[in-house]
């Protein structure tokens, strides 16, 4: 890689730390822009002394943003939220921010701009999350036509907000409710997403056939099959440790989330929102003929290879208890 100066927005999150570790190994000078620099200090040891800088910066301060963006070889945008704490956050974070970033990156002369979006983003999606992601992509490309967009499916890994949300519940609840859905998903390992970002960074201008890459893992699952894989990784897919799986009709699940989804937040745990359940109503797989991992020379990592590595702590008897095979 010939890029030297790279700025990441949202670099202290789940995906960002994996990208930064790879960037640091190339010798790049890295700037991480964050709302709270104290929360990002754990990233500094990933590079050499002085290689990783952390900057506290408002995403609405355009003068400050231009100063950061000027003379950058590449910018990677990872800023996103999974649910709204208050109305309008999807618009401000998924649409207004990419719009501003694309416009200011053009002004500052940024050479390459990479944006992490989400598989399934489209204007007619029933989920406000996906609709806002699609609108943000369109706005970004309008202002910075050379931007490259990565659309990963559900991302899993040790710090994920997917299996780490449901697995602790399945470990203690005798009855484990899941949403009834026929939709299919293609979960992708966070390390593969980070590798894809690195491959896209290395692309020369014009090498990508189109601006969007759809990223999915090697297997396709229904929601129930994903939850079954999770129970297997926890060693809780067989009696006497297997919970009773209660399938909840989709409409009832949406209604229940609207009424009670926010309550877990009161005790420090994230709630499942009705909008997140609406995401489960639609397929989330790599479309045929789209640019994908293979076009970047990558092969996806199997879900069953990674899950036991971070859900093993929830096995009956602890991490080092005997583990059965599939």
Calpha distance 213→45 (Å, rounded): 31
With cut-offs at 50, 70 and 90, classify the pLDDT of residue 263. very low
The mean per-residue pLDDT over the stretch 291-312 comes to: 96
The mean per-residue pLDDT over the stretch 87-105 comes to: 97
The mean per-residue pLDDT over the stretch 189-215 comes to: 95
CB distance 117 to 137 below 8 Å = yes
The mean per-residue pLDDT over the stretch 264-269 comes to: 46
The CATH number, out of the four listed (3.40.50.2000, 2.60.40.10, 3.30.450.20, 3.40.50.720), of the domain defined by the range 5-152: 3.40.50.720
CB distance 12 to 40 below 8 Å = yes
The mean per-residue pLDDT over the stretch 190-213 comes to: 95
With cut-offs at 50, 70 and 90, classify the pLDDT of residue 34. very high
With cut-offs at 50, 70 and 90, classify the pLDDT of residue 91. very high
* Domain definitions of the chain by residue range: 5-152, 154-188+216-284+301-326
Q: What pLDDT does residue 269 have? A: 53
The mean per-residue pLDDT over the stretch 244-269 comes to: 73
Q: What pLDDT does residue 85 have? A: 84
Q: What pLDDT does residue 221 have? A: 98
188-205 residues labelled b (16+ CB within 10 A) or e (exposed): bbbbbbbbbbbbbbeeee
Q: What pLDDT does residue 205 have? A: 85
The mean per-residue pLDDT over the stretch 238-264 comes to: 82
Does the structure show a pLDDT above 70 at 272? yes
């Amino acid at each position: 890689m010939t890029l030297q100066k790279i700025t990441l927005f949202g670099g202290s999150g789940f995906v960002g730390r994996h990208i930064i570790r790879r960037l640091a190994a190339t010798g790049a000078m890295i700037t991480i822009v964050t709302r709270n620099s104290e929360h990002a200090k754990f990233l500094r040891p990933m590079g050499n002394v002085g290689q990783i800088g952390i900057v506290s910066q408002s995403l609405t301060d355009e003068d400050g943003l231009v100063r950061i963006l000027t003379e950058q070889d590449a910018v990677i945008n990872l800023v996103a939220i999974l649910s709204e704490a208050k109305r309008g956050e999807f618009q401000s974070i998924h649409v207004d921010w990419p719009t501003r970033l694309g416009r200011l990156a053009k002004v500052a002369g940024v050479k390459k701009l990479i944006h992490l979006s989400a598989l399934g983003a489209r204007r007619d999606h029933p989920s406000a999350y996906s609709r806002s992601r699609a609108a943000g992509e369109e706005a970004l490309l309008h202002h910075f036509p050379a931007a490259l967009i990565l659309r990963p499916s559900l991302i899993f890994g040790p710090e994920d907000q997917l299996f780490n949300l449901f697995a602790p519940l399945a470990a203690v609840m005798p009855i484990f409710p899941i949403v009834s859905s026929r939709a299919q998903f293609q979960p992708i390992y966070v390390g593969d997403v980070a590798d894809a970002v690195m491959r896209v960074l290395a692309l020369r201008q014009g090498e990508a056939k189109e601006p969007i890459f759809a990223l999915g893992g090697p297997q396709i699952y229904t929601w129930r099959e994903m939850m079954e894989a999770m129970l297997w990784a926890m060693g809780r897919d067989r009696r006497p440790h297997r919970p009773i799986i209660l399938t909840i009709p989709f409409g009832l699940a949406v209604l229940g989330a609207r009424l009670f989804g926010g309550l877990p937040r009161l005790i420090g745990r994230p709630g499942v929102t009705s909008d997140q359940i609406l995401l489960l109503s639609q397929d989330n797989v790599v479309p045929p003929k789209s640019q994908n991992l293979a076009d970047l020379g990558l092969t996806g990592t199997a879900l069953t290879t990674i899950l036991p590595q971070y859900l093993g702590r929830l096995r009956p008897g602890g991490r080092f208890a005997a583990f059965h095979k599939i």
